[in-house]
Amino acid sequence: MMHSHGVQERFPWQYFGLVYLLSVPFWLLGGEKLPVPMDLPASSFMWITPVIAASILSYSTGGLHSVARLLKRALDYRRIGSRTWYLAIFVLVPLIYAASYLIMQWTGLPLPDPIEVSLAAAPVYFLMFLIPAAAEELGWSGYATEPLQQRWGALVAGLVVGLVWQIWHVVPNIQAGRSTDWILWHSIYSVALRVLMVWIFNNTGKSVGAATLVHSMDNVSWSLFPNDGSHLDPQVTSVVAWLVVLLVLLRWEPKTLTRQRNISVRPAAH
């Protein structure tokens, strides 16, 4: 078996290709709508492929011990440390969607009438999305992000993983009946979300569990957006999300997204 650091650095590219290859059978399932309120096609079950691909490649380099170490990271909440980061984990994404809703209301963009938001469904949605989010993040965060960060830094790693992540979603989005503009803007939003997830991941001891919770909160948030996500305007959410990314980059170094920038203050003139 191969254990060299150089081989592991190349593996994210093999990993991305393997995820896509394993997803083909799910894409072939087609766009038949699942029996849930929001528009999710049968092909969305491809959420299992990131962890399968990561497990296969982990086994090829470190055997069953490497696979077990990867899977244990799904529950690595002890890494999170400071409770302050739980605010970012649970509140940041819902605030992005809430701000997007207010902007849509203020600018007169289409919203349903009447507005129907079932907050009581939030815990159910959270539990429904938690396992799929964990399966994805064991791959995207637990396997692919760290080698890319080591080579190009945190910001670039977030951009690369985010782009690959969203290209992976194109087929299911088409099968769900999404327009080209919707898919484009939602992809732009999701790349920003991935950068924010890398920021949270790095500041929580590289906790896959933290990334999983953020991923789940995003799925819950769009599911609750009026009505059942039907009137979500990803152009608005993408603008809001990228503004948040800009604020993060003004305070944290893009290379690591952990160390805060040193802001020099000139002494007052006398």
What percentage of the chain has pLDDT greater than the value 70? 92
Q: Which amino acid is at 19?
A: V
Does 175 have pLDDT greater than 50? yes
- Range with lowest mean pLDDT among 40-49, 82-91, 107-116, 143-152: 107-116
Residues 6+ apart with CB under 8 A from 9: 147, 150, 151
- Range with lowest mean pLDDT among 160-174, 226-240, 244-258: 226-240
pLDDT in tens, 193-202: 999 999 999 9
Half-sphere exposure of 186 (CA within 13 A, CB side): 22
pTM, two decimals, is 0.91
What pLDDT sits at residue 245?
A: 98
Token output for 263: 């802001």
Q: Does residue 109 come out as left (phi exceeding 0), alpha (psi in the -120 to 50 range) or beta?
A: beta
